[in-house]
Amino acid sequence: MDQVGHFIGGKHVASTSGRSQDIMQPMDGTVRGQVALGTVAELRQAVENAKAAQPAWAATNPQRRVRVLMKFLQLVERDYNELAELLAREHGKTIPDAKGDIQRGLEVVEVCIGAPHLMKGEFTDGAGPGIDVYSMRQPLGVVAGITPFNFPAMIPLWKIAPAIACGNAFILKPSERDPGVPMKIAELFLEAGLPAGILNVVNGDKEIVDAILDDPDIKAIGFVGSTPIAQYIYSRATANGKRAQCFGGAKNHMIIMPDADMDQTVDALIGAGYGSAGERCMAISVAVPVGKETADRLIEKLVPRVESLKVGPSTDPTADYGPLVTQAALDRVRGYVDTGVKEGAKLVVDGRGFTMQGYENGYYMGGCLFDDVKPDMKIYKEEIFGPVLSVVRAANYEEALKLPNEHEYGNGVAIFTRDGDAARDFASRVQVGMVGINVPIPVPIAYYTFGGWKGSGFGDLNQHGSDAFRFYTKTKTVTSRWPSGVKEGAEFVIPTMN
């Protein structure tokens, strides 16, 4: 049985807290091991190691730093199948989905190999008489990431790679539900040549989170999780003078215009709504068909597809999706479905009674499909984070557009249409951070930035892309003038470029 402690100063370190939490295997409900719930002192030990190692790493030229990233990519490729299986067993997603989780993280690592270019400053020759002005980007020092259970490879890599490429030391607090892959990532970075202390992993619960938020030597924090926790972390971190980028919940809509290719639309909805058991912040959880005829055609095609979804254990390569992450998550999602029925939504496919033969203790739920959902219902307003799709019928385009615009979340949205004018108008007017046009999950490619609006994102800079390099560096601007030609005597007016 696995015993997961911390990774500090390039070594596995056992916790002395005496507190731990079971690591479950969602597909059969068995206990895989225990993960330590660390102490403030153990977090402080990681910070001290990071502080000691960071100056030499920052002084290493950017090309040499990114060579470590290049070697890391090779090592992940070597261990790809092992990592995917570990991820699937701890999280519950299928192995093909787990491989996608890893790959999306690696794509950000690949972009960060361009750090020598992305960290370049600016230079102005002759900004004034004998005066040159230039800027440089420098690392912040020690930074931290608090990452969620649903992408235990991708989101840690989204934060680790740009942070260390910029010359920072990084402390990761991964989810205690599936800590195995983050620990393996730290081991592989060490094997790739990252100096000990530059990447530390401290496992724990709220005690460690608060210690990170309050530690005076941690200069910036990145977080992904629920909106209430994102708000809490953002407010406490910024109150302590730290930079923070915090990403929260979502309620992603797909607008379906009357001219949309309905077969393509249904394919997109099935994958985007039910993939990974709906445990994605970019999952489509609301379908908005425009007009009664569109809605009726959509339901007619959706029902048999939802009913035929293949739910299976994480190791089944033919399964469409696997179990939810914990029993508590399963109970929560079932509760939302119960609430939707009580609120008067029409449950046209009910997956609550699904069981898996031979895996009766696993956390499985069949696909659920609601029709006639109204905007005042709880199942519309709140993030369910499970294999549940709600259909909200709109009479016309303007009514459909109003739904995502007025929702408290603004993470992702999509429109399916053959009309270029409608798509262009939608992309311009919708008040959501990431937009797909005939693309159901509009996660930007790694050299663009990822981030939602409204209650889905807190902070001025997004994840990955150029924003990551801005977030993990501070800009220093130098104005220089050499003695030749300098006038003697004190000057008492503010300098100008005259």
Type and span of the H or E element at 95: helix 95-112
Closest residue by Cα to residue 213 from 231, 198, 197: 231
How buried is 26 (Cβ within 10 angstroms: 0-12 exposed, 13-18 middle, 19+ buried)? buried
- Distance separating alpha carbons of residues 409 and 398, to the nearest angstrom: 19
In a shared domain, residues 56 and 134: yes
Is 281 designated active site?
yes
The DSSP secondary-structure symbol of 276 reads: G
What does DSSP say about strands 243-247 and 457-458: parallel, antiparallel, or unpaired? antiparallel
Domain assignment of residue 130, given as a range = 2-248+456-478
Closest residue by Cα to residue 92 from 160, 7, 18, 177: 177
In a shared domain, residues 105 and 52: yes
Given strand 30-36, what is the order of strands in its sheet?
2-4, 30-36, 20-25
Q: What is the pLDDT of residue 162?
A: 98
In a shared domain, residues 222 and 100: yes
Decide: 390 and 298 in contact? Cβ < 8 Å.
no
In a shared domain, residues 342 and 301: yes
pLDDT confidence tier of residue 498, bands split at 50, 70 and 90: low
User: CATH number, domain at 417?
Assistant: 3.40.309.10
Instruction: Please state at what angle helix 80-91 crosses helix 180-191, rounded to 10 degrees.
Output: 160
Which token pair is 429? 């007017």
- Residue 486 within a domain: no
Residues 289-302 have a mean pLDDT of 98
Residue 176 has pLDDT above 80, yes or no: yes
pTM: 0.95
- Residue 195 within a domain: yes
- Residue 110 within a domain: yes
Q: What is the pLDDT of residue 187?
A: 98
At which residue do the structure tokens 């690949």 appear?
A: 110
Instruction: Please state at what angle helix 40-59 crosses helix 206-214, rounded to 10 degrees.
Output: 50
In a shared domain, residues 19 and 53: yes
- Residue 451 within a domain: no
Type and span of the H or E element at 418: none
In a shared domain, residues 416 and 297: yes
Decide: 461 and 467 in contact? Cβ < 8 Å.
yes
- Residue 190 within a domain: yes
Among the residues of 124-226, which ranges form H helices?
Answer: 154-165, 180-191, 206-214
In a shared domain, residues 100 and 223: yes
Q: What is the pLDDT of residue 468?
A: 97
Instruction: Count up the domains in the chain and report the number.
Output: 2
Which are the contacts of 252, defined by CB distance < 8 A and separation ≥ 6?
A: 282, 283, 284, 285, 286, 409, 411, 412, 413, 414
Residues 277-302 have a mean pLDDT of 98
Q: What is the pLDDT of residue 487?
A: 64
Residue 5 has pLDDT above 90, yes or no: yes
User: CATH number, domain at 193?
Assistant: 3.40.605.10
Q: What is the pLDDT of residues 235-284, one digit of tens each?
A: 999 999 999 999 999 999 999 999 999 999 999 999 999 999 999 999 99
Residues 385-414 have a mean pLDDT of 98
Catalytic option among 112, 166, 246, 281 = 281
Q: What is the pLDDT of residue 147?
A: 98
Residue 486 has pLDDT above 60, yes or no: no
